[in-house]
């Protein structure tokens, strides 16, 4: 059926003969956006053909997943397609690059696409970075996002948090992610506010504890001085009244020893006088 068809030309192919791209990094397609594309194709036709490669079973999509899906929604039987030669590795890279260039992927889909590409093609981070024209740290930072479980990913995307929000959360212990993420969402923090909050988060318990202890310590110290001053004033008053009084103060590791000795005759004489 496909033996006489040439490579590198745009042909009109049966839609049912085209299989989806197994390396497609995008997993979710917005229904409203697909319907809008389908309406446009119905009104104006398909302005850009999809790209496919030949396989033993027919054709495999290289680029144009949304266009193919929209044409299927319209129950079209055939679709214009550019047939070209691609290896599986090229197919995977092309699909990822197409989505990255069009910014069709959210940051978690990008991370999943990179990981899948590394696994299927056996790339290291350095090799993948060279193929995509990116730096190795950029690839590494993207892959770190895969540490987030699916519920937290959904929360971030549903509340329009950015990749920088997500990367800031990675600085915290995993058990703190959910609590801090909820705080960021509830307080509607921008990236800068979230980064400052996260930077201070680990210090808050220590700061609160130290702040709680310091006033208590200062209060006790101040009260102790008041007590000692009161005793000193009392001693001075007794001496001015003619009472012979002998005071001694000693300290050890646990206690302050303060003693007063007042002769009975001095106390009685002062009283009778």
Just list the catalytic residues. Answer: 65
Residue with tokens 């290896």: 87
Handedness of CA 27, 153, 141, 104 (dihedral sign): positive
Contact 49, 10 (CB under 8 A): yes
H helix intervals, the chain: 31-44, 65-73, 88-102, 107-121, 125-132, 136-144, 150-158, 163-169, 177-186, 191-201, 204-240, 264-272
| Residue 225 token pair | 């001085």
d(CA 101, CA 88): 20
Q: Give one word for 103, left, alpha or beta, with left for phi > 0 and alpha for psi -120 to 50.
A: left
| Residue 254 token pair | 């646990």
| Residue 252 token pair | 């050890």
The rounded radius of gyration (Å) of the Cα atoms in the chain is 39
């Amino acid at each position: 059926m496909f033996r006489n068809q040439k490579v590198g030309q745009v042909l009109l192919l049966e839609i049912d003969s085209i299989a989806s791209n197994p390396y497609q990094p995008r997993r979710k397609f917005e229904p409203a956006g697909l319907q809008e594309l389908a309406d446009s194709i119905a009104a104006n036709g398909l302005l850009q053909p999809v790209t496919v490669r030949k396989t033993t079973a027919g054709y495999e999509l290289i680029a144009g997943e949304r266009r193919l899906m929209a044409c299927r929604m319209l129950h079209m039987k055939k679709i214009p397609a550019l047939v070209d030669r691609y290896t599986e590795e090229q197919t995977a890279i092309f699909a990822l690059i197409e989505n990255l260039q069009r910014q069709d992927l959210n940051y978690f889909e990008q991370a999943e696409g990179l990981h899948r590409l590394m696994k299927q093609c056996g790339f290291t981070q350095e090799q993948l970075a060279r193929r995509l024209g990116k730096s190795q740290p950029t690839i590494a930072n993207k892959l770190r996002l895969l540490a987030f479980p699916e519920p937290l990913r959904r929360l971030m995307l549903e509340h329009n948090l950015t990749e920088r929000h997500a990367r800031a959360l990675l600085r915290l212990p995993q058990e703190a992610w959910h609590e801090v993420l909820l705080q960021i969402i509830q307080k509607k923090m921008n990236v800068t506010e979230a980064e400052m909050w996260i930077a201070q988060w680990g210090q808050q318990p220590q700061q609160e504890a130290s702040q709680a202890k310091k006033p208590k310590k200062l209060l006790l110290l101040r009260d102790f001085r008041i007590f000692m001053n009161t005793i000193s004033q009392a001693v001075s008053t007794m001496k001015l009244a003619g009472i012979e009084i002998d005071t001694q103060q000693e300290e050890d590791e646990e206690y302050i020893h303060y003693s007063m000795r007042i002769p009975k005759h001095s106390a009685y004489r002062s009283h009778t006088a």
